[in-house]
Amino acid sequence: MKLRLVFLYTTFIVVYGLIFLAIGLAPWFSWHRNALSDLGHCTRSNVSVIFNLALILGGWLLTIYSVIFLKTDTKVSWLFFAVSGFALQLIGVYDEIYRYIHWIVSVAFFVVYDISLLVYSLERRMLVGVLLFVAYIGVWYIYYNGLLTGGVSIPEMITSLFVSLPLIIEETRRVIKNA
């Protein structure tokens, strides 16, 4: 397997693996009441170190992946994914204890991550990615209009997967095709 795929898979295994580990070790966490960031609150969460490590390390890996690998064969999506990775790191650094700063970097991450999907999908000519971009916006719309009930962790996880999975699938497809 090419180093590119090893690096990509490692990035997302680290992020989602540590997030789900933190969820598993936090019996108080509820998908129906909490934001994922509640796991990273440094004074209220028993798993803040694990959760914030997921975001900081995962964001760093995504940034490195973007600069080393995506930059070689995309025009601008590499830059959007690199900025997304940096914003993800900032969420881990500025956990909920920082309140407004945390909110700003969290919103920045979700907005830029979504735009990354759109730009990447246009560059790669992926209709499914463009449709997921629209669905991403739709999930947040229905959540903020009360049509999707529960904690904000639900749309956070759904929308992050809307971007992560197409990136993983398309990158894998391209590496196999070019092998």
Q: How far apart are CA 72 and CA 143, in angstroms?
A: 37
Residue range 149-166, pLDDT digits in tens:
999 999 999 999 999 999
- pTM of full prediction above 0.85: yes
Question: Are 155 and 139 in contact, with CB atoms under 8 Å apart?
Answer: yes
The candidate with the shortest Cα–Cα distance to 14, out of 42, 55, 70, 45, is 55
Mind giving me the DSSP string for 123-166?
Answer: HHT-HHHHHHHHHHHHHHHHHHTTSS-S-THHHHHHHHHHHHHH
**The pLDDT value given to residue 1:** 58
pLDDT tens string 14-71: 999 999 999 999 999 999 999 999 999 999 999 999 999 999 999 999 999 999 999 9
Averaged pLDDT for residues 132-154: 95
User: Burial, 16: exposed, middle or buried (Cβ in 10 Å; 0-12, 13-18, 19+)?
Assistant: middle
Task: Name the residue with tokens 């490590």.
Answer: 53
**136 against 1, higher pLDDT:** 136
| Residue scoring higher pLDDT (109 or 179) | 109
In this structure, the number of other CB atoms found within 10 A of the CB of residue 72 comes to: 9
Q: Which two tokens stand for residue 156?
A: 């956070």
pLDDT in tens, 82-136: 999 999 999 999 999 999 999 999 999 999 999 999 999 999 999 999 999 999 9
Query: Within a 10 A sphere around the Cβ of 46, how many other Cβ atoms?
Result: 12
Look at residue 178 in the predicted model and tell me its pLDDT.
87
